[in-house]
């Protein structure tokens, strides 16, 4: 039996969340997706979870209340959440921001694609890893 996978998606833009969900489901319709509108809401959701089997946290960089970097920083100080695999999404490719996100523990940093094909390709990397092999991507850790 295949183990279930859950992606926790935090993005304040409802349209971006919808497109991301469509792209993820196009790759693997069995992935459960839990949505949050900001970092505070995501932390509340994560703290209420009893177990994390196969999951990936996807954080938008720019969100109200608690942005992606603040959320990642807070994740890393909560012992039971500290090791959860997390990636960052942003419209900005600022090298300083990328370095800082990785220093905080982000597995990777992706610039949001401007096309649906680009978004599907990004989600393929999130599900399968950059090599395109099942069970080696960040979501499979």
pLDDT of residue 28: 92
| CA nearest neighbour of 39 among 18, 16, 9 | 9
- Cβ–Cβ < 8 Å for 126, 137: yes
**Res 137: pLDDT:** 41
Place of tokens 């069995």: 30
User: Mean pLDDT of residues grouped by 10 in the chain (141 residues)?
Assistant: 79 95 94 95 91 88 92 93 92 90 93 93 87 42 34
Measure the CA–CA gap between 133 and 120, rounded to whole angstroms.
16
Q: What is the pLDDT of residue 52?
A: 77
Q: Note the pLDDT of residue 93.
A: 87
Determine contact, residues 124/112, Cβ cutoff 8 Å: no
Q: Does domain 5-140 have CATH number 2.30.180.10?
A: no
* pLDDT value at residue 138: 47
Q: Cα–Cα distance between 58 and 35 in angstroms, integer? A: 10
Q: Which pLDDT belongs to residue 124? A: 92
């Amino acid at each position: 039996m295949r183990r279930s996978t859950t992606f926790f998606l935090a993005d304040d833009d409802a349209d971006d969340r919808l497109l991301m969900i469509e792209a993820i489901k196009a790759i693997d319709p069995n992935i459960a997706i839990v949505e949050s509108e900001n970092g505070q809401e995501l932390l509340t959701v994560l703290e209420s979870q009893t177990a994390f089997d196969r999951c990936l946290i996807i954080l938008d960089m720019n969100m109200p209340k608690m942005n992606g970097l603040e959320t990642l920083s807070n994740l890393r100080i909560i012992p039971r959440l500290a090791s959860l695999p997390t990636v960052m999404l942003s419209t900005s490719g600022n090298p300083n921001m990328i370095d800082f996100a990785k220093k905080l523990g982000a597995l990777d940093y992706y610039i949001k694609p401007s096309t649906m094909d680009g978004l599907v390709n990004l989600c393929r990397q999130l599900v399968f890893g950059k090599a395109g092999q099942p069970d080696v991507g960040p979501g499979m850790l």
